[in-house]
Amino acid sequence: MAFPLTAMRALVIAVCVLTLAPCALAQNWKQVHKADEAKWAKTTGLDPWTIHKLWHDSSNLPGGKEDDESRIANIDVEGLAERHDVLFVTYAGEKNCLKATVFRQFSESKYLKAWWVDQLPEGGGFCDTAFGSAEAEARNGAVAIRVPSSLDNGKTTYTVYVYEWNGITYHLAGQKKIQSE
């Protein structure tokens, strides 16, 4: 059975598109990551290569950042500065779930991963909900992760998880409910 010429061309085009699509997507993620690195370098004053390395080192994926489809949500260079720590927050997935990583700075370009968290104490992730977006920041030497949990009288209620330094590592020091203003 012979294919008509137009059917054969359509088949060849379809095979080419399916073969090249993963390469095109990977290239787009590379561009997205590069743009994120430049944006956060400008925001924080850190070198883009340092941000690239921190992003790579924060990934738990076997291939590192090359397989990581996360985006940078926050880099806080001030809130943990008394211990020479930097909070590096990424988000990924359909629900924009956060991962908070703390890096200890040893020199202008040398950072080591000191601690990270991506799960609620009761299980599940620090994710956006229908009530709002999850956020993480460093303040007064602690890491605070805010997760929207409900809506009450038109105001969002958040659960805030606070992780403090205990002399060895960061640990869950408490959680509280707050309402949006």
Distance CA 1, CA 4 (A): 10
- Amino acid type, 98: L
Work out the end-to-end distance of the chain between its first and last CA atoms, rounded to an integer number of angstroms: 71
pLDDT at 19 exceeding the cut of 50: no
Higher pLDDT, 92 or 1: 92
Q: What is the pLDDT of residue 103?
A: 97
Q: Print the domain residue range for 111.
A: 5-179
Please state the domain count of the chain. Answer: 1
Full-model pTM = 0.81
- pLDDT number for residue 6: 52
Range with the poorest average pLDDT among 16-20, 45-49, 82-86: 16-20
Angle (CA) 116 149 144, round 5°: 35
Tally of CB atoms within 10 A around 55: 23
At residue 10, the pLDDT reads 47
Q: How confident is the model at residue 61 (pLDDT cuts 50, 70, 90)?
A: low
- State whether residue 118 is helix, strand or coil: coil
Which of the four pLDDT bands, split at 50, 70 and 90, describes residue 67? low
pLDDT of residue 180: 84
> Average pLDDT for residues 23-28, to the nearest whole number?
52
Summarised one tens digit per residue, pLDDT across range 74-130 is: 999 999 999 999 999 999 999 999 999 999 999 988 999 999 999 999 999 999 999
Tell me which residue of 128, 167, 124, 161 sits closest to 146, measured CA to CA: 161
Number of helices and strands (H, E) in the chain? 2, 8
